[in-house]
Amino acid sequence: MIGWQPALGGDDAPEGLPPLVAAEPQSATRVLREIPLLLGLAALIAFLVKTFVAQAFYIPSESMLPQLEVNDRVVVSKLSYRLHEPRRGDIIVFDDPRAIDETDDDNVVEKFVRGLAEAVGVVQPSTDEFIKRVIALPGETVEAKGGRVYVDGKLLYEPYLPPGVVTTDFAPTMVPDSTLWVMGDNRSNSSDSRSFGPVRRSTVVGRTILRVWPPGSASFL
């Protein structure tokens, strides 16, 4: 049974023990010194999460209608493809293959600083990324005929497309190693592998796993 015990200190302190001393409140100067450290730590954590775990993106175009609408916000997992390779039907984010690749020439410090600034919202995030659906995998042959998509000669089942969607015919194309054939769900209004070819696996940012905005449309993808 737990009984009442007097607080130590002053006249109630047992013999041989010094009285307790009340802790002094932190000085304003000390608090001000700690604020930059805390802010820096928070920024570093945000940067690490954005770089290695997950990142938020917004949808700038109609290429993924009706699954994703313009200005929807999605969360992209950067861990998924550390555990397994991309799969057919995944919605992925990847670097714009039409852009001039200057990433190898960028200063490492500049890239770190920009990434940090993007993570904490100081700098507008880069918009040089595309979001599309994986249609064909390395080594497969993809084509469209009669308005439908075929992979290795077999009709591709695409339940995510609304009835009546027609895919413009294109000749059989073999997907090279370390690349993916991607297409938007809005087949009549999507710049995808039909125009710029397969995308390099190394340019894939991650797999889209969650729509978080607007709130009423939040869902797993």
Instruction: Please list the active-site residues.
Output: 63, 132
User: Which amino acid is residue 96, in one-letter code?
Assistant: D
User: What is the residue-wise DSSP string for 100-145?
Assistant: ---GGGS-HHHHHHHHHHHHTTSSPPP--EEEEEEEE-TT-EEEEE
Cis peptide before 215 (omega within 30 of 0): no
Q: What is the DSSP letter of 83?
A: H
Find the Cα–Cα–Cα–Cα dihedral 82, 84, 86, 89, rounded to 10°: -130
Q: Shortest CA distance to 79 belongs to which of 51, 106, 53?
A: 53
How many CB atoms neighbour CB 66 within 10 A? 12
Q: Is 4 exposed, middle or buried (0-12, 13-18, 19+ CB in 10 A)?
A: exposed
Q: What is the identity of the amino acid at 114?
A: R
**What residues have CB less than 8 Å from 26, skipping those under 6 apart?**
none
